[in-house]
Structure formats: structure tokens, C-alpha cells
Amino acid sequence: MLKKLAWCVVLVFMFNQNGLAQLPDFTEMVKTNGVAVVNISTTQKAKPEAVEGVPKEIPMPEGMPPEMEELFKHFFNNPNGGGNGAEGDGDEGDTQSLGSGFVIDKSGYVLTNHHVVKGADEIIVKFSDRRELVAKLIGSDVRTDVALLKVDAADLPVVSIGDPSKLQVGEWVLAIGSPFGFEQSVTAGIVSAKGRSLPGGNYVPFIQTDVAINPGNSGGPLFNMDGKVVGINSQIYSRTGGFMGLSFAIPMDVVMNVVSQIKANGKATHGWLGVQIQDVTRELAESFGMKKPQGALVSKVMPDSPAEKAQLQIGDIITEFNGQSIEKSGDLPPMVGITPIKDKATLKIIRQGEEKIINFNIGLLPDQVDKVADSKAEKAKPTNRLGVTVTDLTAEERQSTQVSKGGVLVQNIAKGAAKTAGIQVSDVILRLDNQLVHDVAGFEKMVKNLPVAKSVAVLIQRRGSPAFLALKIEK
């Protein structure tokens, strides 16, 4: 019995020793690279009253313990400071924000996020040796959230730039920054996923990690285990305003592409195809005769765009860009965005069940975005198999919905296939089962001929944005 117990103790000890041996040691990495990480504070002259559209106070998160309320108010609702954890200097009318950054060139180039320095009248870069230098904004890019600064200094400590394409999910990574103003804070975690597409970040294939990132960490570096920067910490997903285990970093290959453009031209440009796209769901894949959901489904082709000139069509499914596979719609925009303007590019598409190759020249992404007013419609009793009532569009409705010809306006929806598919009142139905909808008469005829228990694609326009839905009439 004693012998068995002794063996158990030995095994537990060996297991613990092996487990401890596998845990990373970040101490040398922090010593080497921490000196190149900076604290960034900005000042913006503003009126004492709240900016239009921005609340004077951030609502208290639900369920916050009483002992945390004062801390929350101090960091987020400080009348003299900023919502990023910075305290103000007390000057009436001044607003301050706080973030992080890092030196990429010993002559004084510093990287941070666009949103950290946006609208700043003055940018101060604070080094680990307590030096504070005024920085000049060389240029920034809102679409990738990258900003390049320059301070008047020489022989600064710099970071090494790594290759984010070699990162693997599950790999250890480390962040250094100034969360809530606490300078040189170090946090670590693993890579949770790669190539994440986020709302408003279509041109960045984000690196997702579980590294603790909080307000003030924005613009700071994300290091791999070789001590090289693989990303800029940019965003978190949170329901409370604080860290919840989901952090997102901009890959350094995207960042350095922007940096080289800013250095050369003072700004960055992005490639443009000129389509609105969406994911192919299982039901949509069935309706298009595909074996599995894959690719980017084209729901709109912009006028005078490279896509229109290349005769790309609504309903085309893009499966490859320049030989790179498109598994989901979010894969496409970053690939197009980093391709130089006017370069030749190739798309592989599926059109009505057949593979085709489309060649086009990359265009310049325009700054303007479509803005559409909501359309209004009177309710009427649904009369067809879908449980939906439609009308032809008036001239005013065409102007407000940006539908120049064809289509029918949804007036009312009852329980049925249309409602289950996600069609809503004021949607404009443009296509049904891969056929153009010209008017109410044609639409009603199409509805009568729809198959039962089989998914068909319906293209709708909602608030100016087209989208495909999968519709199925049950038995």
C-alpha cells in the first residue's frame, strides 16, 4: 500500500513539473520590449457641454456590485477626464483620451490606433523613462484604424515586426499597454481565432485573442513568443465596457501596408471591387444547387464599379480571389483591400450552377457610402402562399429605396414562409427563385409556381442594402 502511495506521489510530482515546464516565461520579453511601448495622451479643445449625440454619462452596467460603482464613475464618467481611463488636467473645456503605442523606427516613428488620436489638438507620447514628447500625426486610416506618429528623437528603442500569417490558434501572445492609465501593464493569453470579420472593420482580418484588453490598451502591441509584434490591439467585444475575454488585434501585415502608404503619400488607399456580399447559408446553398455553404454571395453590384465593368451579376457566388479560396464572405474584402489600385485580379464564381472566371482591374475604394430613407407602406391583408402582400412601387418609393426599376414593395406579412424567411414590411423583393421580379402580377405568378419543401433564394432590398434570404414553403 505504501509503495503504491509513493508511486502516486512521484507521478503527481512529475505531472506538475511537466506542466510547469510548459508554461511560458515572459520576463525577458517584457524587459526587452517594454521600453519601446509608449503611453499616448491627447487633448482636444471642446465646449463644456456634451457633444451632440454623445451622452454626458455612460450608463451604469446592469448588475454592477456597489463597491465598483465609484470606480466606474471615476474612470468612465469623470467630468474632467476621458472615457478611456484618463484623468483631465482640470482645464475647463479640455477633453483628454488615453491610449498606447509602440516605436517602430529609432528615428521616432510611433504606431497607434486611429481612434486614439482622432480629432486631437495635441498628442503627447510618454516613454518608459518618463520622457514626454509632443508627436506629429503623419497620417491615419479610419478603415484599418491605424495611425502613424512622429516624435523628434533619435536612437529610440524599437520593436521587431513579426509575421502574423505564421500565428497559430492556441499560440501564446502577450500585450503591453496602459489600461485605464496604468502604464506598462502586461497581460497574456492565447490566439483564439484568425481572420475575424467585425462590423465596421471589413478591411481587417482581425486576430482574436483572450488577452485582457481594456480602455487604454488601444494602439498597443501584441507580441508572439519570439518577442515580435504581430498585431495592434484595437477592439474588444463587451456588454459592460470592460474586458470579457474577446479581444481583437489588427495584423501587422495590414498595418505595415498602411504605414508604407502613409509615408509615401500621407494617406492610405484601399482596393475596391464594388459589390455588397453576404454569407452563403445552408439553405441558400441548397437554393443555388451547391453541395456545401461556401463563398461570398453578391447581393448588389455598384454602378460604375469594377464589378459592373467586369459584368459581375447579382446572385453570383465568389469562391476564389486571385487563386485564394473564399470560404465566407468576410474573407473577400481584406484580400481586395490590400491589392494595389489598378492591378489585374481574377475571381472564380458560380453562376446558375456553373463555374466561371471573371477578370477585372482593382478600383479605388470611394469615401462615400449610400444613405437611404425608410419607406412607408400601408397594410393590407396577405393573399398568397407566402403570407405576404405586395404592391408596385411609386416614384417616391423608388427614390427612397434606391430601386430604379422592377421589384415589389412588401405591405404586410402574416404567418407563413415569407415571415419565417425573415422578410419584413417595407422590404422590396427584387428576385425570387433566381428570377427578376418586375411587378405584382409577375410576382404572384412566380409564387404560384414555387416548389414545396425546397429552399429558394429571394433577394430583398432593406434600407438601401440588398440581401439574399432562403425561403421554403412547407408541405
Tens of pLDDT, residue by residue over 14-69, are: 555 555 557 889 999 999 999 999 999 998 875 444 444 434 444 444 444 444 44
Q: How far apart are CA 38 and CA 128, in angstroms?
A: 7
- Whole-angstrom distance, CA of residue 373 vs CA of residue 387: 26
Q: Assess whether 74 carries a catalytic annotation.
A: no
The domains found in the chain, sorted by start residue, are 33-47+71-151 (2.40.10.10), 160-265 (2.40.10.10), 271-364 (2.30.42.10), 388-471 (2.30.42.10)
To the nearest whole percent, how much of the chain has pLDDT over 90? 51
Question: Catalytic one among 41, 97, 100, 115?
Answer: 115
Mean pLDDT of 325-347: 92
Which one from 140, 178, 218, 329 is the annotated catalytic residue?
218
Name the residue among 162, 141, 151 with its Cα closest to residue 109.
151
115 is catalytic: yes
- Among left, alpha and beta (phi > 0; psi -120 to 50; other), residue 246 is beta
Checking if the pLDDT of 12 tops 80, the result is no
- Give the separation between CA 272 and CA 307, rounded to whole angstroms: 9
Cell representation of residue 121: 489638438
Q: What is the pLDDT of residue 10?
A: 52
364-391 mean pLDDT: 59
Neighbouring residues of 73: CB distance < 8 A, sequence distance ≥ 6: none
Mean pLDDT in residue range 134-156: 94
Higher pLDDT, 137 or 47: 137
Confidence of residue 396 (pLDDT cuts 50, 70, 90): confident
- Whether the per-residue pLDDT at 81 is higher than 80: the answer is no
pLDDT value, residue 384: 77
Give the per-residue pLDDT at 158: 96
pLDDT in tens, 410-442: 988 888 888 888 899 889 999 998 889 988 888
Residue-level pLDDT at 375: 35
Q: How far apart are the first and last CA of the chain?
A: 69
The pLDDT value given to residue 452:
85
- How large is the average pLDDT for residues 205-217? 93
- Distance of alpha carbon 473 from alpha carbon 456, whole angstroms: 9
pLDDT at 413: 86
Compute the mean pLDDT over every residue in the chain, rounded to the nearest whole number: 82
Q: Which residue has the higher pLDDT, 380 or 113?
A: 113
Q: Does the pLDDT value for residue 174 go beyond 70?
A: yes
